[in-house]
Amino acid sequence: MKVVKGILQFTYQQIQCCLFPIIIVISLGLTKYISIGMIPRYDLLLLICIFTQITLLYFKLETKDELKVIMLFHIIGLVLEIYKVQFGSWSYPGAGFWKIGGVPLYSGFMYSSIGSYICKAWKVFDLKMSTWPNTKVVILLCSLIYLNFFTHHFMVDLRWFLIVAVFYLFYPTWVYFTVGESRLKMPLSFSFLCIAFFIWVAENIASFFGAWAYPDQLKQWRFVHLGKITSWYLLIIISIMIVAQLKMTKNELKK
C-alpha cells in the first residue's frame, strides 16, 4: 500500500511539473482534427504556446528568472531545428506564416517546455545534487554535446564518446528528491536516461499528431526509431546542466 501511495504521489508531482508539455500535446491533438478559420495550424499552435507562457507567468506558476532560462531553451532548440530541417533530418510539411527556414516558431516552445519541466521539478521535488563536477568541465561537455548535433552531418558522430564521458564525469553525482514525505536519491546519469525515455514517448505522440515528420513518416506514421533516445539523452543533459549551473550560481551570489 505504501508503494502504491508513493507511485501515485510521484505521478501527481510529475503532472504538476509537466503542465506546459501536457498543454502542448493536447493542443497538437486538438489542432490535428479541429481548425479555426483561416489560421494555419502551426500559427495557431504558436498563439496557444504564447498564451500558455503568459498565463503561467501571470499566475506565478513560473517566475521571471525561470522564464529567462526557458527562453534560452527556446533559442537553443529553434537554432537546432532550423539546422536539422535544412539537412532533411525531419520536416514541417504543414502551412504556416510564422516560419524561419521552414521551421514554425512554435517548435521552439517544445524545447522550452522541457526547460519549464526541469525548473518546476527543481521546486516540486526539491532537487539537490551531490558531488557536482567542475563548472568549466561541465560547460565544455555541454558545448561539445551541442556542437555534435551540428557537426555529425559532415564529421564523425561522437555521441557514444560523449555518453561515455557523461557517465564518467557524473558517476559520483547523485540527485536527491522528495516524493510526499520520503527523501529519495538516484544516480544523476540514470535520471538522464529516464527523462530521455519519456521524452521519446512524448515524441512519438507528437509526431503522430503531426507536430513534425521524419522522412520515414511522410507517407505513413510509424514509431520513432529507438536510437533517438540517445539524442534526447544528450539534449536533456544540456538542459539539466544549464538549469543546475544557473541555480548553483544564483545560490552562490546570495551568500
- Whether the per-residue pLDDT at 163 is higher than 80: the answer is yes
**What are all long-range contacts of 152-155, with beta carbons under 8 Å and residues at least 24 apart?**
153/87
pLDDT of residue 26: 92
Query: What ranges do the domains of the chain cover?
Result: 2-254
What mean pLDDT value characterizes the chain?
88
- Calpha distance 136→146 (Å, rounded): 16
Please write the tens of the pLDDT for every residue from 20-63: 999 999 999 999 888 887 889 999 999 999 999 999 999 988 88
pLDDT-based confidence at residue 93 (cuts at 50, 70, 90): confident
Three-state secondary structure call for residue 187: strand
pLDDT of residue 162: 94
- Whether the per-residue pLDDT at 255 is higher than 70: the answer is no
Q: Span 95-113, mean pLDDT?
A: 91
pLDDT of residue 63: 85
- Whether the per-residue pLDDT at 159 is higher than 90: the answer is yes
Q: Give the H or E element holding residue 2.
A: helix 2-17
pLDDT of residue 253: 61
pLDDT of residue 175: 93
Higher pLDDT, 254 or 119: 119
pLDDT of residue 86: 92
pLDDT of residue 252: 62
pLDDT of residue 251: 65
Please write the tens of the pLDDT for every residue from 118-144: 989 999 999 998 888 888 898 899 899
208, 220 Cβ separation under 8 angstroms: no
pLDDT of residue 241: 80
CA torsion angle for 33, 17, 114, 164 (degrees, to 10)? Answer: -130
Q: Give the H or E element holding residue 129.
A: strand 128-130
Closest CA to 243 of 105, 127, 133: 127
pTM (two decimals): 0.89
Please write the tens of the pLDDT for every residue from 183-222: 999 999 899 899 899 889 998 998 888 888 888 888 888 8
Handedness of CA 50, 51, 56, 60 (dihedral sign): positive
108, 211 Cβ separation under 8 angstroms: no
pLDDT of residue 156: 92
